[in-house]
Chains A and B, each alone.
Chain A
Amino acid sequence: MAVEVPENVVVSRLDALANWCRKNSLWPMPFATACCGIELMATGASRHDMARFGAEVFRFSPRQCDLMIVAGRVVMKMLPVLQRIWQQMPEPKWCISMGACASTGGVFDTYAVVQGIDRFLPVDMYVPGCPPRPEQLIQSIIDLQDIIQQRGTIQGSIVARPGQLPAPRALMELPVLNQPQTRIGS
């Protein structure tokens, strides 16, 4: 039986609609402890402009966030704070581990520095670099958006469906900034 769909009506799955809303409205929680935090600020500022990807609303209250960006090394005295902030964030939530130190401890293999936050927290996306450039962070947000679109559910949980992820989109396919061709002073 064919159902007549009126004009201007789009049919979709509820999961897909929720995922589409969520992925384009990420609210990052900047957990910036080191030099990666500077790149994170640059990513949010006008030149690189995370607003192009719907993730510009940084909130310092974890209860208003759904994306934690851990930017910088985490020492063992800070880790209980980090875990508490993660628990305070409402579901659904995601975590980006930005830079070598947050992902692995980096060069700081000492008694005080946690060797990768993924030992104690769920991490969705790792960004390599020391520190990563803003383009890399933007790429990780694009990839995270794809994960949310493909694997999220209306209840908020992430369902692992391996094999369904598309090939990662390249940053160049998306609108890029109008870079000036000449540098001042050159």
Chain B
Amino acid sequence: MPSNIESVISDLKSQFAAESSEFRGQTRVVVAADSLIPAMSRLRDEHGFDMLVDITCVDYLNYRDAVHRFGLVYLLADTQSGRRITVRVMVDEPDPKVASVVPLWKGADWLEREVWDMFGIRFEGHPDLRRILLPEDFAAHPLRKDYPLQGRGERHNFPVLTRDEGGS
């Protein structure tokens, strides 16, 4: 039985001390990192948000009034009623990490691998946390704001083939 969005928010506030806000009809809640799994389980099992749409991340380095370094964004949807909710978790350096939601949604596997690849946030309990897009020997996490746009020379470190190769 899908509950309305106000009761979802009040439930999260009472259970997990979540903060909520609304922007142009989109509901957003911020929960603490250690209560992510209980909050997500409750959203999925009690409130009917059965679909994990996306996991992404924001780097708030040098951001105005920012307190935390990274904001992980979980987009959930209710496939029955079409409701959506955004769950945000703040993590900080050093060693930014958060619990994996793969036990709740199988589809979180590659999404968390992408966030690890691009932002270097470890998902504890992830079954196979490898890079998914960049080469395996890539050393950095390029979507962090302190990574230079043109890289650190990674794109210039290949062997050079010439006409002489192969003896012709």
Contact = CB atoms under 8 A, between A and B. Distances in A.
Whether A associates with B in a native complex is: yes
A66 to B, nearest CB: 12
A93 B151 CA distance: 33
Interface residues of B, number: 22
Contacts of B151: 110-112
A77 B165 CA distance: 22
Top 8 A-B residue pairs of the complex, sorted by shortest distance between their CB atoms: A111-B151, A91-B168, A76-B155, A157-B168, A122-B163, A120-B158, A111-B142, A77-B135
A128 interface: no
Contacts of B25: none
B135 A120 contact: no
B148 interface: yes
Interface stretch (A29-37, A52-60, A78-86, A134-142): A78-86
Interface of A: 76-77, 79-80, 83, 86-87, 91-92, 109-115, 119-122, 155-158
A86 B161 contact: yes
Given A109-B150, A111-B148, A87 B155 contact: no
B159 interface: yes
A156 B168 contact: yes
- For A80, A92, A111, the residue with the greatest tally of chain B CB atoms inside 10 Å of its CB is A111
A119 B150 contact: no
Interface string B9-39: 0000000000000000000000000000000
A111 B147 contact: yes
A121 B166 CA distance: 13
B91 to A, nearest CB: 23
Contact of A120 (B134, B147, B150, B160): B160
Interface string B144-159: 0001111110111011
B80 interface: no
Contacts of A87: 161, 165-166
